[in-house]
Amino acid sequence: MAVTWQGSFCMEVTPLPCLLTVFGALGDLAGRKLFPALFRLHRRKLLHDNSGILGCGRRPMSHDGFRAYVRTLPELVNVPDAEMAPFLRRVYYLAGDYLRDETVRGLAALLDQAGKELGCTDSSRIFYLAVAPDSYLPLVEKLAGAGLLSEPCESVDCSQWRHVVFEKPFGHDLDSAAGLEHGLLRHLSERQIYRIDHYLGKETVQNILMLRFANLIFEPVWNRNYIDSVEITVSETVGVEHRAGYFDRAGLLRDMFQNHMLEMLSLVAMECPVSFEADRIRDEKARLLRSLRPLDPKELFLGQYAAGNGLKGYLEEPGIPPDSRTETFASLKLRIDNARWKDVPFYLRSGKRLNERRSRIVINFKHIPYSIFTGIRETDLSPNRLVLTVQPQEGLSLELIAKKPGPKLCIGPLALDFRYASILEPGESMPEAYERLLLDCMLGDQTLFLRSDTVRLAWNYLQPALKAKEKIKPISYPAGSTPEQVESLLKKRRSAAFLEKS
């Protein structure tokens, strides 16, 4: 499909100077995502010339040693030296146990040193906690005790802010999330807390609001009168890999549904906010989550992958107990009790070691009410579908019914496909989600970050499922496949088209 981009309202803002500290700087997340994203922001001139990056890890290492380590990261190893050198000059390193007073004092001293060397002594600060969740509160308490989280002014427009970024999971159930929130709010205000969900940084997910509220053709039909069902799918071909310890404690419901799945659901189903401002958007997301009909455990299916297709089973993975009942697949049907969505089913499913890697949102429209075409019933014509692909190739597809050139009457589905990569400049690549999220954190824009009330509402909705799964033994499915029970069940429902090939 030929696409012409006629964009004329393009806005990007370069943040003021700041010092970003990454705790867990030698970890997997920092190496795969954070430092490559920061370099790309630097290369796009979206990282202020006076900004600096401090890595904090447990392994003893000098500044130059850490810079050499960053240079060898898989995403950066092939970058020309001329491009890497200016970026590495703004990188520093501190070794030590994050929870020891001497390490925090050393961090304060290094922040002062880096600020003087980079010319940003009075700059803002970001503390990115890429560490184990049980370290969140103790680390925040240490930083607060050292005065590193205090802002010199209380105004929302304060130019010397202190932001703290938290990776999921934010708690492991409703009580633990509430306890963590209570502890953090003793030292931070809500506007200082950035709970990150990298799915919200993906281009297709960001575009949901523009698609719905900037295009007249969609919003009038975005309701129960025209939409038959909505499906949100996140399927992965990989197993637990290096996350066995965390994943076996969490399970698929906690790992995917409480955050990614319900956040995408909120963007698809929420009402139009009064403005494109962080709290107005998050108000509507919270209102949507409050409208969810209480979860029915009978509408929940759990699975666990077993050996198959040349792949080992979950119980054979390193670090997994041989008697584990942790789910690696979950399928859930839910409903929203409001005027827009009454009686429209939403199908959410996600799993590991499935037959394909795919994340997408499918809007299934209803059949036409009456067919004027001789010999063709309205049910013979495929209903329209809007498919929003989040990965692997971000884009969208609108399926229409059209006539095939030739015979007098030969009609069938026609897909209008679009990929966001097709409108990039030559040599330009799709932005990574962490680029957008890190930049927004520097700009003080919380639109794509979770607010405390939506975190609580998501946990509250899932509590019945978390309780029910303690009594449910997950059904085995061969690795590299889709659970047959789910497939056969949903094929009986006309609206479960996401199980069929596009």
Distance CA 454, CA 290 (A): 9
Is residue 266 within a helix (H) or strand (E), and if so which, with residue range? helix 262-269
Nearest to 441 by CA among 84, 118, 198: 198
Is residue 405 within a helix (H) or strand (E), and if so which, with residue range? none
* Pairing verdict, β 385-391 and 395-403: antiparallel
Q: Which two tokens stand for residue 10?
A: 């393009």
Specify the 3-state DSSP secondary structure of 205: helix
48 contact partners, CB below 8 Å, separation of at least 6: 14, 15, 16, 17, 18, 120
Burial class of residue 321, CB neighbours in 10 A (0-12, 13-18, 19+)? exposed
59 neighbors 26 (Cβ within 8 angstroms): yes
Exactly one of 163, 182, 260, 367 is catalytic; name it.
260
181 neighbors 456 (Cβ within 8 angstroms): yes
217 neighbors 386 (Cβ within 8 angstroms): no
Check if 260 is active-site.
yes
Please list, residue by residue across 330-345, b when 16 or more beta carbons sit within 10 angstroms of its beta carbon and e when fewer do. Answer: bbbbbbbebebbeebb
Distance CA 307, CA 134 (A): 33
* Pairing verdict, β 52-57 and 18-23: parallel
194 neighbors 166 (Cβ within 8 angstroms): yes
| Residues annotated as part of the active site | 260
